């Protein structure tokens, strides 16, 4: 069966008379003529209405058609805010009256109202689906963050090797500091530092008051680091600990010989994405750290 969509009307600005003539060329059946005519006008009207609705929403302005004295269907959308369903019913009634006045026939578009309503309901459904997708992404981010926090709820057990080394060094006050995945900047020669972000610290009281004053004055303190080398004996390097303040937080950084004596040593196997764990302890009063490499 022929469908009105096959009519080759150049654009929506074609005169009503031209549209009627082209439909007459297709069919002489009055019922089909009226149905095609109604579908043609309704389709053009809905397209214009939807585009206007989207434009008004993007610009955050009140949707309103310009009034035209020669167009009895213009201005059928009132200023008063209504639901899309009520708006569609009002548009349908005005549109049917408009078609009836032009054709001087009884209206045959019994499905006009439902057609416009369905179109608007589809718009609402698309918007609802978009919001659901957005909420789903947000929930996934929250779950992922909660999983990351859960990973830190239980402090990991320090390997026996490091326990033995700390004991041999007469170390005291062992504290788990953080667990993190190494970033590219953590192992880059140009950066030459291991960052210890505040948000990733499990405990941040490993620095005493005197050391904190020094760090807050933008000065550094010398510390010892037991590297993750698999060698049975302790591989200890001296580094400098500094504190970098940011807008709403801060981060500690181990600098100095970090790249040359830790990252660049093949035995330590530090790579971007590798999971490392950091503990602090005291040898007498000196602050020391243990770095354990869990690998990728």
Higher pLDDT, 132 or 68: 132
Please write down the HEC assignment for all residues of the chain. Answer: CCCHHHCCCCCCCCCHHHHHHHHHHHCCCHHHHHHHHHHHHHHHHHHHHHHHHHHHHHHCCCCCCCCCCCCCCCCCCCCCCCCHHHHHHHHHHHHHHHHHHHHCCCCCCCCHHHHHHHHHHHHHHHHHHHHHHHHHHHHHHHHHHHHHHHHCCCCCCCCHHHHHHHHHCCEEEEEEEEEEECCCHHHCCCCCCEEEEHHHECCCCCCCHHHHHHHHCCCCEEEEEECCCCCCCCCEEEEEEEEEECCCCEEEEEECCHHHHHHCCHHHCCCCCCEEEEEEEEECCEEEEEEEEEEC
Domain extents for the chain?
4-130, 160-295
Higher pLDDT, 220 or 68: 220
Report yes or no on whether pTM surpasses 0.75: no
Checking if the pLDDT of 8 tops 50, the result is: no
Higher pLDDT, 57 or 286: 286
CATH 2.60.40.1120 fits 160-295, yes or no: no
């Amino acid at each position: 069966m022929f469908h009105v969509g096959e009519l080759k009307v150049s654009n929506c600005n074609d005169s009503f008379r031209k549209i009627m003539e082209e439909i007459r060329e297709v069919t002489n059946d009055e019922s089909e003529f009226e149905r095609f005519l109604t579908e043609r006008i309704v389709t053009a009207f809905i397209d214009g209405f939807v585009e206007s609705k989207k434009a008004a929403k993007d610009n955050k302005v009140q949707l309103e058609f310009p009034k035209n004295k020669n167009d009895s269907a213009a201005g059928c959308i009132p200023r008063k805010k209504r639901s899309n369903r009520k708006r569609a019913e009002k548009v349908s009634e005005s549109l049917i009256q408009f078609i009836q006045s032009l054709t001087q026939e009884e209206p045959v578009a019994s499905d006009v109202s439902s057609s416009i309503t369905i179109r608007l309901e589809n718009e609402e459904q698309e918007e609802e689906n978009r919001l659901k997708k957005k909420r789903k992404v947000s929930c996934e981010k929250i779950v992922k963050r909660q999983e990351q926090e859960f990973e830190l709820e239980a402090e990991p057990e320090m390997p026996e090797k490091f326990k033995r080394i700390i004991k041999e060094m007469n170390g005291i006050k062992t504290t788990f500091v953080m667990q993190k995945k190494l970033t590219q900047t953590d192992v880059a020669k140009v950066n030459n530092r291991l960052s210890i972000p505040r948000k990733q610290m499990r405990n941040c009281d490993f620095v005493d008051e005197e050391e904190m004053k020094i760090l807050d004055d933008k000065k550094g303190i010398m510390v010892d680091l037991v590297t993750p080398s698999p060698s049975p004996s302790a591989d200890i390097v001296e580094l400098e600990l500094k504190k970098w303040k940011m807008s709403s937080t801060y981060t500690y950084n181990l600098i100095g010989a970090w790249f040359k004596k830790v990252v660049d040593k093949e035995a330590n196997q530090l790579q971007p994405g590798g999971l490392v764990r950091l503990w602090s302890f005291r040898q007498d009063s000196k602050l020391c750290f243990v770095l354990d490499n869990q690998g990728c």
